[in-house]
Amino acid sequence: MLLIAQYVIPIVGDTLVGGAVLVRDGIIRDIGEAERMRLRYADEEVRDFGAAAILPGLIDLHTHMENSVLRGIVPDQPYASWIQAVRRAASRLDVHDWHASAIFGGLEALSAGITCVADISATGASCSAMTKLGLRGIVFREVGTMDKRRVEDAMRIARNDIVNWGESVDSSRIGIGIAPREAFDCHPAVFSDAARIAREEGIPLSLYLAASREEYDFIRWGTSGLSVDNMQGRRGYVEIPPWLPTGVSPVRYLVNWGAFEADNVIAAHCVHVDAEDIRKLQEYDVAVAICPRSNAQLSMGVAPLLEFIRSGLRVGLGTGYAVATDSSDIIKEMRYGMLLNRAMNPGRFIAPETMLRMATIDAARSLKLDGLIGSIEIGKRADLTAIDLSGSRQGSTGNPEAVVVNSSSSTDVLMTMVDGNIRYEKDKWNVDVEVARDIARVIDIRGKLRK
C-alpha cells in the first residue's frame, strides 16, 4: 500500500513535501517523493490523503481507558474531592461495564490518531479491548492497599494477573506492566514489591507521582484533603495506623522505598517536583509522562517540562484521567503543554516540533519501543496516522509541524494504521467489535450512573 499526502513528517528527518510511504506486511518499506514512488511501485494500492500530513502514530503515555464511561458523570471539583467521587462512581460498574468502557476509550484513541497506549487497568478490560481494536501498547496492572496485612495477597494476585493477561494478548503488540496506586493510597511496601516484580518478570513499572499539591502535602506534612480516614471509609479498612508525615517530597519518599529500582520506570504527572527530585529521576533514568489538560482541569498545576527536557529525561505526553477531560486527544495535549509552559516561563520558548516529538519518538523511547515505532523509518512497524491540514482555522501550511500542534485536533484525523492495518478511516472502522452496539452500551451505562 502506498500512502501519499502533501507532507510526510518522519519526526527524525526532514519533512517531505509531496511525499509517500510504502507499507508492506505491516512494515515501512520505503519513503520518498510521491511521483517517483508512484512510478516505482505502480502496482501498489494508493491512498492519497491530499492536503494532509502523514505522521508516525501518536502515543498516549498515560491513560485510563476503562474509566472513559465516567466522563461527564463526576462533578467538576478540585482533585482531592474529585478522585474520591470518581472511585464512588466506579464502584457501581460491573465487569461488562468495564469492558464496554475500555472499548469506548480505545475507539476514541484510534479516531484521535493514537496507535499506542500505556493504559492503567485494575480489571484487565483493556487487554481485551486493545486486542479487539488492534491497538498497540502496554497494559499496567494497577495494585494497591493501605493495609500492611493485605500487601502480600494484593501483590500475589497482581502477579498472577500479569501472567494471565500476558497469555491472553499478542505479545508482539501488547505488553503487560505493573502500576502501584497513588502514594496516598498505598502502604509503602507496595512500591518496593512492585519494583521487585517488575525486575523479576522483566516488565515496565508505571507510577503516579507528585501529581497534586494535596498529594505533596499529605506525603510530606501528613495533612491535606486526602485524609486516610476518608480512604478507610471508602475501602473498608480497619485498624490501620495513622499516616505519619515523611518530611520529604513524594519523589524522595518513593526513592526511599525502592520504587525506582526497576529496569523501565515511567512516572506520570510529576507536577510538584524540585531540582533535587529531578536529579533523582535522572539518576534512576525514570521516564516522565506529563498530562497537561487533566492537571489543569483538576487544578493540580503545571509540570516543569523545560526542566525535564534540559535534564535529559525521557519525556512523553499522556491524556491522563479520561474522566477529567473532554476527549482523549494527544494533539490537544501537545498544544496545552506547549502554551502552559510558554505562559509559565516568559522568554523560554518551547517549539511545536518539541511537542510533536514528545507525542511520537520521545514517548516511544519512554516505553523503550523506539526500535519499533515513534518515527517513519524504513524497517519500523507501520503505525501511522494522517491528519487533514485543509481546515480554514489551520492557516498557512508552510510549517506543517506547527499547524498540527497549534491548530489541529482529533477531528482532523483522516486515518489511523497499526501494524499496516487501517483501523480507522474517517468514521469507518476496521475492528473486531460492533461499534454502534458498544457505543449504545456506553450510553446505557451512563444512564445507569446518572440515576
The string of pLDDT tens digits covering residues 317-326 is: 999 988 888 8
**Residue 371 — pLDDT band, cuts 50, 70, 90?**
very high
User: What does DSSP assign to residue 148?
Assistant: H
pLDDT tens track for 182-210: 998 899 999 999 999 999 999 999 999 99
Among 9-13, 71-75, 415-419, which is the least confidently predicted range? Answer: 71-75
Cα torsion at 97, 101, 102, 105 (round to 10°)? Answer: 180
**pTM of the predicted protein model:** 0.95
> CA nearest 204: which of 104, 61, 305?
61
Instruction: Give the per-residue pLDDT at 413.
Output: 97
- SS3 at position 58: strand
* Domain 58-366 top-level CATH class: alpha beta
Q: What is the mean pLDDT of the chain?
A: 93
pLDDT tens figures, 72-121: 898 888 898 899 899 899 999 999 999 999 999 999 999 999 999 999 99
233 pLDDT exceeds 60?
Answer: no
What does the DSSP 8-state code read for residue 121? E
Domain ranges within the chain, ordered by starting residue: 2-56+375-425, 58-366
- 209 close to 270: Cβ distance less than 8 angstroms: yes
DSSP reduced 3-state for 338: helix
> DSSP assignment, residue 377?
-
Given a cut of 50, is residue 288 above it in pLDDT? yes
Q: Transcribe 239-260 into DSSP letters.
A: SPPPPPP-SS-HHHHHHHTTTT
Does 403 have pLDDT greater than 90?
A: yes
- Nearest one of 395, 434, 424 to 57, comparing CA atoms: 424
Contacts of 175 (CB under 8 A, 6+ apart): 137, 138, 139, 166, 203, 204
Kindly state the cell numbers that stand for 101: 468502557
Residue 397: pLDDT band (50, 70, 90) is: low
Q: Does domain 2-56+375-425 have CATH number 2.30.40.10?
A: yes
End-to-end CA distance of the chain: 49
Chain segment 29-61, per-residue pLDDT in tens: 999 999 999 999 999 999 999 999 999 999 999
CA distance 328 to 422: 19
Give yes or no on whether 2-56+375-425 and 58-366 have one common fold.
no
Residue listed under C-alpha cell 485536533: 409
